[in-house]
């Protein structure tokens, strides 16, 4: 199983609970805004602690049974809704932030994203689609064991959506990383999800 | 133009202000970070204590420094016993007084800039494999640098203008503790020194103006999300 999740979390008045055993490919958490889908991703990434439960990826426990692996050691490739590029670093430095020593030939590894011509640009000069592709590249270069995608298409226009969707499909089918993605768009859920979990 | 004595006064002021700012800078940054990022019991009291020099009469601050750094004071006695040094009537004492008076202004500016650093960027860095120290050195610090520099410049300007605590703590010793405001005060007591008062006051206003403009420009730069590093 790629993702084994059984968690509960109280956030103010809301109660977030999810039980999930998902295999390879892309698992999509689908449901209306505001029911805690992003909180689930944050809990898997280690940015938010569940009140109780267990989270494991590929059999390794990240949370639960007395374990709470800090986010920097979970190796989650997290692509947020907004790109969250570091504004004081150029695109190249952003991409290599999590790459460690494996910086050689990095352009080939993310060639399919088509961002080679952006390397010397500052994040504030990028369009929404460009920034999101850089964010995906940055997550992939951090040698992740799995990808977390939080509404990665929501801030984009139709043409850019198609671009990013293809990039995600490439990661799912060619790079073969397990993906946990959140969306409120049924079309996206259908197209990208190997399985869709309603929340 | 200025004569040799007046240049000496300006040089001493710059030295006192510069040293006060440089020594206070890391302390102010650490306190600003603590107040911006850490929850702990008694935080409101620490916050108030840091800001005391801003509202307490400077003469009281000077007197408290005298008690602490005097030969029988807890810090002064220790400095005397272990290193054989005293800061009383010395420019180093003037720098301490200036640093204490500048601390709250520096902490305020730096705290605002640290609070303005987007925690979501820091979270993104954590997921990319960066531990808390790396996040601090590569994100929190560089992103708050404009505010830190603005605070430092403001602290420097405040240090150069320090009067009440300095004259109470280390007195008004020409060539040692007589910085610009103290020299202006002395000149005001002497008949016929009007031109000196004018010249030193102009220098004072000029230095303060330059520092305030620099601080303002740095703050605006921070507000635009552009960064020095």
A129-145 residue pLDDT tens: 899 999 999 999 999 99
> How confident is the model over B124-135, as pLDDT tens digits?
999 999 999 999
Inter-chain contact B124–A75, Cβ cutoff 8 Å? Answer: no
Residue B227 clears pLDDT 70, i.e. is over it: no
In the block, residue with structure tokens 């005097």: B70
Contacts of A97 in chain B (CB under 8 A): 125, 128, 130, 138
* Residue B137 forms contact with A (CB below 8 Å): no
Q: How confident is the model at residue B225 (pLDDT cuts 50, 70, 90)?
A: very low
pLDDT of residue B228: 36
Please provide residue A180's backbone torsions phi and psi, each rounded to the nearest 5 degrees: -120, 115
Q: Which of B129, B141, B147 would best serve as a mutation to test chain A binding (most A beta carbons within 10 A)?
A: B129
Q: How far apart are CA A16 and CA A38, in angstroms?
A: 10
User: Would you call B107 exposed, middle or buried from its count of C-beta atoms within 10 A (0-12, 13-18, 19+)?
Assistant: buried
CB A113, CB A91: distance < 8 Å: no
pLDDT of B229 higher than 60: no
Tens digit of pLDDT for each residue in A165-175? 988 999 899 98
Residue B128: list chain A partners with CB under 8 A: 72, 97-98, 138-139, 142
Question: Does A7 have pLDDT greater than 60?
Answer: yes
Q: Which of B155, B188, B138, B167 is nearest to B32 (CA)?
A: B155
- Percent of chain B's residues with pLDDT above 70: 96
Rounded mean pLDDT, A174-195: 91
Question: Average pLDDT of B86-112?
Answer: 94
- Find chain A residues with C-beta within 8 A of B130's C-beta: 72, 97-98
Please report the pLDDT score of residue A167 as a whole number. 86
**Cα(A177)–Cα(B91) distance, rounded to whole angstroms?**
64
The H helix count followed by the E strand count for chain A is 6, 10
Residue bearing the bigger pLDDT, B216 or A192: A192
Reported ipTM: the value is 0.92
- The beta-carbon neighbor of A84 closest among B120, B143, B229 is B120
* Predicted pLDDT at A1: 64
pLDDT for residue B55 is more than 50: yes
Task: Provide the pLDDT for residue B212.
Answer: 87
CA B152, B153, B154, B158 dihedral sign is positive
State the distance between the two ends of chain A, measured CA to CA, in whole angstroms: 20
pLDDT at B78 exceeding the cut of 50: yes
Backbone angles phi, psi at A91, to 5 degrees: -55, -40
Give chain A positions within 8 Å (CB) of B119: none
**Which residues of chain B lie closer than 8 angstroms to A47, CB-CB?**
123, 126-127
**Pairing verdict, β A179-183 and A195-198:** unpaired
Quote the pLDDT of residue B2: 82
Tell me the average pLDDT across B184-204.
94
Distance in angstroms (rounded) separating the CA atoms of residues A141 and A89? 16
Contacts of B58 (CB under 8 A, 6+ apart): B101, B162, B163, B164, B165, B168
Q: Kindly report the average pLDDT of chain A as a whole number.
A: 90
Lowest-pLDDT choice from A42-46, A129-133, B117-121: A129-133
- On the question of pLDDT at B96 being above 90, the answer is yes
The sheet with strand A67-68 has its strands ordered as: A14-22, A3-11, A52-57, A60-64, A67-68
Could you tell me the pLDDT band of residue A23, with boundaries at 50, 70 and 90?
confident
Tell if the CB–CB gap between A78 and B142 is shorter than 8 Å.
no
All structural domains of chain B with their residue ranges: 4-223
CB nearest to B123's CB, from A47, A75, A88:
A47
CB pairs under 8 A between A and B: 59
Whether residue B217 is predicted with pLDDT greater than 90 in this model: the reply is no
Q: Which residues of A touch B131 (CB under 8 A)?
A: 70, 72
The alpha carbon of residue B120 is apart from the nearest alpha carbon of chain A, in Å, by 7
The whole-number pLDDT of residue A88 equals 92
Residue A180 has what pLDDT?
A: 95
pLDDT number for residue A65: 87
**Chain B residue at shortest CA distance from A46:** B127
Sign of CA dihedral A139, A35, B122, A145: negative
Between vectors from CA B190 to CA B188 and to CA B196, what angle results, nearest 5°? 60
The percentage of chain A sitting over the pLDDT mark of 70, rounded to a whole number, equals 99
pLDDT computed for residue A113 by the predictor? 86
Q: Return the CATH number of B4-223, one of 2.160.10.10, 1.10.3720.10, 3.40.630.70, 2.40.110.10.
A: 1.10.3720.10
Q: Are B85 and B79 in contact (CB under 8 A)?
A: yes
For chain A, domains (ranges, CATH) are: 23-35+60-198 (3.40.50.300)
Given this model, what pLDDT does residue B118 score?
Answer: 93
B129, closest residue in chain A (CA to CA):
A72
Is residue A194 helix, strand or coil? coil
* pLDDT reported for residue A28: 94
Span A158-185, average pLDDT: 89
The answer to whether residues A79 and A147 touch, using CB atoms and an 8 Å cutoff, is yes
Q: Please state, in angstroms and rounded to a whole number, the distance separating the CA atoms of residues B112 and B114.
A: 6
Considering only CB atoms, which residues of chain A are within 8 Å of chain B? Answer: 45-47, 70-78, 80, 82, 84, 86-88, 97-98, 100, 124, 138-139, 142, 148
Report the 10 Å Cβ neighbour count for A107.
14
Contact B139/A at CB under 8 A: yes
Burial (CB count within 10 angstroms: exposed 0-12, middle 13-18, buried 19+), residue B20: buried
Q: What is the pLDDT of residue A128?
A: 86
Measure in Å the smallest separation between the Cα of B220 and chain A Cα atoms.
Answer: 16
Q: What is the pLDDT of residues A80-112, one digit of tens each?
A: 998 999 999 999 999 999 998 777 778 887 888
């Amino acid at each position: 199983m790629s993702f084994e999740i059984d968690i509960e979390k109280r956030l103010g008045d809301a109660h977030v609970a999810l039980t999930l055993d998902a295999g390879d490919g892309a698992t999509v958490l689908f449901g209306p805004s505001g029911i805690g889908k992003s909180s689930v991703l944050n809990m898997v990434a280690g940015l938010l602690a569940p009140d109780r439960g267990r989270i494991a990826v590929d059999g390794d426990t990240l949370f639960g049974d007395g374990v709470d692996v800090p986010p920097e050691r979970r190796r989650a490739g997290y692509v947020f809704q907004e790109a969250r590029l570091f504004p004081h670093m150029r695109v190249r430095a952003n991409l290599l932030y999590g790459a460690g020593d494996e910086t050689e030939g990095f352009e080939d590894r993310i060639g399919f994203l088509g961002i080679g011509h952006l390397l010397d640009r500052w994040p504030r000069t990028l369009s929404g689609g460009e920034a999101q592709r850089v964010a995906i590249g940055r997550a992939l270069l951090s040698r992740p064991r799995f990808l977390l995608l939080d509404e990665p298409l929501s801030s984009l226009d139709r043409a850019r959506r198609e671009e990013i969707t293809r990039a995600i499909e490439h990661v799912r089918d060619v790079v073969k990383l397990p993906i946990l993605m959140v969306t409120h768009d049924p079309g996206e859920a259908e197209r990208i999800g190997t399985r869709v979990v309603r929340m | 133009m200025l004569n040799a004595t007046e240049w000496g006064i300006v040089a001493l002021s710059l030295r006192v202000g510069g040293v006060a700012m440089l020594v206070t800078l890391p302390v102010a940054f650490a306190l600003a970070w603590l107040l911006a990022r850490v929850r702990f019991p008694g935080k409101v009291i620490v916050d108030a204590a840091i800001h005391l020099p801003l509202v307490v009469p400077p003469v009281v601050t000077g007197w408290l420094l005298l008690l602490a750094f005097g030969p029988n004071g807890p810090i002064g006695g220790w400095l005397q016993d272990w290193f054989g040094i005293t800061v009383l009537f010395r420019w180093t004492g003037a720098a301490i007084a200036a640093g204490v008076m500048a601390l709250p202004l520096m902490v305020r500016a730096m705290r605002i800039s640290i609070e303005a650093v987007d925690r979501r960027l820091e979270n993104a860095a954590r997921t990319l494999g960066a531990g808390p120290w790396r996040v601090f050195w590569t994100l929190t610090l560089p992103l708050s640098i404009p505010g830190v520099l603005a605070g430092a410049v403001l602290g420097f300007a405040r240090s150069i203008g320090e009067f009440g605590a300095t004259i109470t703590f280390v007195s008004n010793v020409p060539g040692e503790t007589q910085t610009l405001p103290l020299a202006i005060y002395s000149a005001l007591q002497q008949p016929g020194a009007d031109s000196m008062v004018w010249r030193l006051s102009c220098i004072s206003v000029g230095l303060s103006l330059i520092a305030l403009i620099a601080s303002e420009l740095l703050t605006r730069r921070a507000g635009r999300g552009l960064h020095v590093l």
